[in-house]
Amino acid sequence: MLNTQNTNATRTLEVISSEIETSENKAAPNYRVLAIVGLIALIAIGLIGRMWWRSQNLVETDNAFIAGHVHPLSARIAGVVTKVLVEDNQIVREGDVIAELDPADQRAKVEQIEAQIASAAQQVLQADAQVAQVRAQASATQAQVGQSEAQLQRAKQDADRYSQLYNTQMKAVSKAELDSANTTRAAAQADLSARHDAVLAAQAQIIVATSARDVIKAQIKVLQVQLKDANQQLVYNRILAPVAGRLGKRNVEVGTRVQAGQQLGAIVEDNVWIVANFKETQLAELRQGQEVKVVIDAMSSQPLVGKLDSFSPASGAQFALLPADNATGNFTKIVQRVPVKIMLRDEDIKQYAGRLVPGMSALAEVHLHQSDAGKTSAAK
């Protein structure tokens, strides 16, 4: 009986102790939970503060990409490719030969025109001889005019003398002699007129022969221009690099027949820049000359420094193939984006030459409160 009472008392004490411990545990704070909650609150406050600070001091956009000069490489004449002297992604200099076309057609054209010029030159020599001949005939005819004039003068004198010797008071000569003198004078007058007409005809022949020679000379000038063009077409058989850079998108092989204007590849210059499309609501405090932090997605651990160069004269939507017409009645206001050109430093372009290529994505970030931004903008 006594043992049973002791056992019950012990159990009662244990229950009371456990209840006391449970109450103490409930009352004691969990410091680990409090620490985690406090840390989360501090992080949230820090993130909110950071977001607020960035919204007040920074303007950024991830709608940015690298741009550069991409020059299309095309043939200026039609022909068959006989040589290709470059490979994909090869560095070329301005004037380097990219490919060569078969020059047979152009050479045949050059030889044909040269033969035509030689034939025309012979025709000019013949025309010169003809002009000289006609001028000689004109000179002879002119001399005959002088002779006819002398004969006419003598015939007039004879007719006058016979007229004085044969009249109503005196018949020193016969009437037949007088008539013969008058006839001779009339014949001399007619001959002189014929000689004058012959001179005019000879002068006209000179003009005709000279004009024919001038026409042939004009044809020679036309042929010379055609020859120059044919020689230029012969030069166009060598397709040259228009600028220095790297060759890309090569799509020409030996044996390919190309047409004039057909694109055979593209040359990309090393000089690149950033085009960042900022929202129109972000442009209020942007100025020319402000420094820009540029992060290239392909080199996110190596941020670059650029300088805001210029603003596009219109939003991107205005340069679209089919600009939106907001006067149709179905109007939804959309925040427009304006392209902004950002120039990179020359040393960065040289350092990362070949790695900064047009089309790569980037992030642009502008610190609004720059002390020298106003000076730079004013200087520009």
Q: What is the pLDDT of residues 74-92, one digit of tens each?
A: 999 999 999 999 998 899 9
The Cα angle at residue 322 between residues 316 and 323, in degrees rounded to 5: 50
pTM: 0.63
Mean pLDDT of 24-51: 74
Predicted confidence at residue 326, as pLDDT, reads 67
Neighbouring residues of 329: CB distance < 8 A, sequence distance ≥ 6? none
Residue 266 neighbours by CB distance under 10 Å = 17
DSSP string, 264-303: EEEEEEEEEEEEEEEEGGG-TT--TT-EEEEEEGGGTTS-
End-to-end CA distance of the chain: 109
Q: At 380, is the pLDDT very low, low, confident or very high (cuts 50, 70, 90)?
A: very low
Q: What are phi and psi of 273, to 5 degrees?
A: -150, 180
**Residue with structure tokens 């956009």?**
61
Q: 6 or 281, which is more confident?
A: 281
User: Using 50, 70 and 90 to split pLDDT, how confident is the model at 379?
Assistant: very low
C-alpha to C-alpha distances, 142 to 23, 136, 137, 193, 202, nearest whole angstrom: 152, 10, 8, 12, 9
Residue with the two structure tokens 């089919």: 322
Percent of the chain with pLDDT over 90: 35
308 Cβ contact list (under 8 Å, min separation 6)? 286, 287, 288, 289, 290, 291, 292, 340, 341, 342, 366
Structure tokens at 370: 């720059």
Q: What is the pLDDT of residue 332?
A: 74
pLDDT at 52: 76
User: Contact, 68 vs 272, CB < 8 A?
Assistant: yes
pLDDT at 17 over 90: no
Going by pLDDT thresholds of 50, 70 and 90, the confidence category of residue 374 is: very low
- Across all residues in the chain, what is the average pLDDT? 80
| Interatomic CA distance for residues 274 and 361, integer angstroms | 9
Domains of the chain with CATH codes = 56-102+245-379 (2.40.30.170), 104-234 (1.10.287.620)
Say which residue the tokens 């190309």 belong to: 258
Q: Which two structure tokens, joined as six digits, stand for 231?
A: 């020689």
What is the pairing mode between strands 263-279 and 245-248? antiparallel
The pLDDT score that the predictor gives to residue 84 is: 93
Residue of 78, 85, 122 lying closest to 100 (CA atoms): 85
Burial 149-166 (b: 16+ CB within 10 A, else e): eebbeebbebbeebeeeb
- Identity (one letter) of the amino acid at 223? L
What's the pLDDT at 345? 92
Measure the CA–CA gap between 266 and 246, rounded to whole angstroms: 8
Q: What are the residue ranges of helices labelled H in the chain? A: 2-27, 31-57, 104-165, 175-235, 346-351, 373-379
The upper half-sphere exposure of residue 93, i.e. CA atoms within 13 Å in the direction of its Cβ, equals: 1
Decide if pLDDT at 378 tops 60: no
The pLDDT confidence band at residue 188, using thresholds 50, 70 and 90, is: low
Tokens for 9, please give them. Answer: 């008392």
pLDDT digits (tens, 9 = 90+) for 192-220: 676 666 677 777 777 777 888 888 888 98
Residue predicted with more confidence, 151 or 235: 235
